[in-house]
Structure 1
């Protein structure tokens, strides 16, 4: 109320002064512009000058507010631009879903500046550029995505890695993912992408170090993880064996292969397929005695047809003792065709021809097996039963050929 009173008092005072001023003849104002002449009373001129000054001041303030983004007009313009950006973003995402990559990229990139979430626009536009095989544009759009939103380096990096993997640029993807893992060591999706890259690059050593983390985070189901772990260690064993094979035969050092076996996790050292691979490599590299010892220990507590088949192929230090060990297993498994096949081979190694033939025939009666047929046919041929051997091989070949049942001429 006090402020209103002061304003009213000031207005009355100014009005009184103006009224007194107008009673006197204060002259006039004359303005000449070319052929035009303007004359007016002094007080009217002052009033006009005041009005013009206020109008100019209003225009300057309005222009300044418009330029700084404030005011009703600028607000309306910004809202209009944002609505247009949202509409174009929606159209761009629809085009992306429809597979219209060029249109989607154009709409998404053009509306990114005014979009509510420019990061989404740029990432989606990068996907479109990738589908158009414009890899330079992909990198540029990902850079813009990173610059548009603080704290988006992980999201942008993951998208970049995914596009690099999809484009089979595995080395670049590996560099991206290693950088991301330093920022987020336990990020689930980064770990899963690393698994994909290591597998594609056949970097089995790094993959073997990653597998415990995948298991700990429960990122791969149990069956798939076991297959991945088996594949990884089998490849590492194969590479170690290949390196030893390239050495001079007289001075081969099996140390790296044995050391690698010692590094295997317990689950793999109990896995029959991995045991089979390791024993097979030992045998091929000339250390059949160590392979036989390993297989004997394993088969004593864990039976496996695959392992007993390999056991029959390996020559231990004492073939007679090896045969006796296998015959003790036969007491518990008298009708196991794989064990009988192995016993036949071990009998051959001990030059027990009749016993070997009996084992092969018994195995063949229990299960028709091409290995057993081949062993029996070879033995019969060397024992002078060539006709029987040839007949057996011919019958086996015809049975496995899938030939139709057709009439044949009589002999």
Structure 2
């Protein structure tokens, strides 16, 4: 539209000039002795216009001729940039395709030919990445040194070098080298979130739980980390801080945690162990119960079942409430059995332990049954279960014939299954391996889990002789007794 307007103005001016010149028929006289030059005014105007455009064209020609070296320089620069871009693209594509040797070749060629510091830094970092994939760590370090040298004092290039090099060091478990690069970046500005996340991983590799906790809190405040990932870091660091704290320090650490963080498994276990060491069993129960309510992990149930005799009644009542929600949880059944042993409720203890073993055989269940039967004077059965526990914990387990271990599938991965004695019937067919029992690990702390099934003699008939008649405080007897017992009563 702008072009049409200017064209219209030029035509209007031309027509107006033509009309003015037609009405003025005068002459222009130029006197330059001994010459006299005379011509019409129309010719003079046209001549001036032609002369102006001719002079303008001459000036443009001179400008073009004098600017040729600069234009040639720009042309060469653009051609070099196009070549560098092509080499860099080919190098990165080769890295992404897994052709690391070809990538190194392309990127080394780029480093030797380019004059751009930025291209040299990028090519050096990409070549270092390719060398790391090839396990050529010396060439990787050489490429990183070249990239660092070319970065100079440019803050942006220095940051790119620091983050890329630190990430490579972390992949190779060189945490201290990564920290040396990232700590100045973190000190300069806490808004470099990627550098902060890498620094967090480096301190995690070094097991510096104080710095892990501090950086995780910083990233959470800035919403710069995934919540589930942050909870993993909080669980690790908070548990370590509690383990290293005394009772006064524990109060400060515990108050700094959020409600959902206090229910994390490792955090709740660490707090329970610390408080148990100071005989604060009521506080232990208050810490473990919300954690078990959120996630009934075997470790939490095992810790909950360890208590002095004066505390067992309340915990047993609480565990019975959980049993209504998780009636087939072997860890919960084992914890109930241990609590009954603590309260000397021998029949109920045997009942819960056998129910747990029917769901999941565990060497520690056998150990507890051995202790229970020893107290009850049933020596043959006690020796039998102790033998199975020792057999399972030993280095030479007896495997059932034609029994194959399950495939390495996380959904069906056995953890702690015990063996059986030869020529004895199996008491349960464990076709679905589930979580290990939560019985107190102090029975066999150093034992290794062995993946095979267990068997015990049929001792169901003894339930009637040792089942306690006294009800447990706060427990519905119908939930803890078999129908056969009630019918005989």
Q: TM-score, normalised by structure 1?
A: 0.64
Residue 191 (str. 1) matches residue 193 (str. 2): no
CA contact under 8 A between 2:265 and 2:291: conserved in structure 1?
no
The higher relative CO (CA closer than 8 Å, separation ≥ 6) is in: 2
Distance 2:212 2:291 in 1: 31
CA contact under 8 A between 1:292 and 1:311: conserved in structure 2?
no
Distance 1:216 1:153 in 2: 27
Residue 125 (str. 1) matches residue 114 (str. 2): no
Structure (1 or 2) with the greater helix fraction: 1
Distance 1:79 1:154 in 2: 32
My pick for the range that moved more, 174-183 or 134-143, is: 134-143
- Tell me which residue corresponds to 2:228: 223
Residue 143 (str. 1) matches residue 149 (str. 2): yes
Residue 325 (str. 1) matches residue 314 (str. 2): yes
2:114 match: secondary structure: helix
- Deviation readout 1:313-357 (Å, 9 max, x if unpaired): 232xxx23x232134336533656545544443444455545544
State the superposition RMSD in angstroms: 4.1
Q: How does 1:243-392 map to 2 (within 5 A)?
A: 254-283=247-276, 286-287=277-278, 289-296=279-286, 298-299=288-289, 303=293, 304=296, 306=298, 307-315=300-308, 319-320=309-310, 322-329=311-318, 332=321, 333=323, 335=327, 338-351=331-344, 353=346, 356-361=349-354, 363-364=356-357, 368-392=361-385
CA contact under 8 A between 1:88 and 1:107: conserved in structure 2?
no
Q: CA deviation at 1:359?
A: 4.6
Q: CA deviation at 1:257?
A: 4.3
Distance 2:286 2:359 in 1: 24
- Tell me which residue corresponds to 1:112: 114
- Deviation readout 1:20-47 (Å, 9 max, x if unpaired): xxxxxxxxxxxxxxxxxxxxxxxxxxxx
Change beyond 3 A, Cα 1:142–1:394: same
Q: How does 1:69-108 map to 2 (within 5 A)?
A: 71-73=67-69, 75-80=71-76, 82-95=78-91, 97=94, 98-99=99-100, 100=102, 102-108=104-110
CA contact under 8 A between 1:108 and 1:124: conserved in structure 2?
yes
Distance 2:193 2:150 in 1: 25
Q: TM-score, normalised by structure 2?
A: 0.55
Unaligned runs of 5+ in 2: 1-31, 36-62, 404-421, 425-489
Q: CA deviation at 1:88?
A: 4.6
My pick for the range that moved more, 185-194 or 329-338, is: 329-338
- Deviation readout 1:121-158 (Å, 9 max, x if unpaired): 322224325625243552343232345x6754433443
Distance 2:144 2:423 in 1: 72
Change beyond 3 A, Cα 1:323–1:163: closer
Change beyond 3 A, Cα 1:85–1:364: closer
Q: CA deviation at 1:208?
A: 0.5
- Tell me which residue corresponds to 1:403: 400
My pick for the range that moved more, 75-84 or 330-339, is: 330-339
Change beyond 3 A, Cα 1:82–1:166: farther
Distance 1:362 1:150 in 2: 66
Q: How many residues align?
A: 324
Unaligned runs of 5+ in 1: 1-8, 13-64, 242-252
Q: CA deviation at 1:199?
A: 1.4
CA contact under 8 A between 1:108 and 1:125: conserved in structure 2?
no
Distance 2:274 2:163 in 1: 40
CA contact under 8 A between 2:175 and 2:205: conserved in structure 1?
yes
CA contact under 8 A between 1:173 and 1:197: conserved in structure 2?
yes
Change beyond 3 A, Cα 1:169–1:112: farther
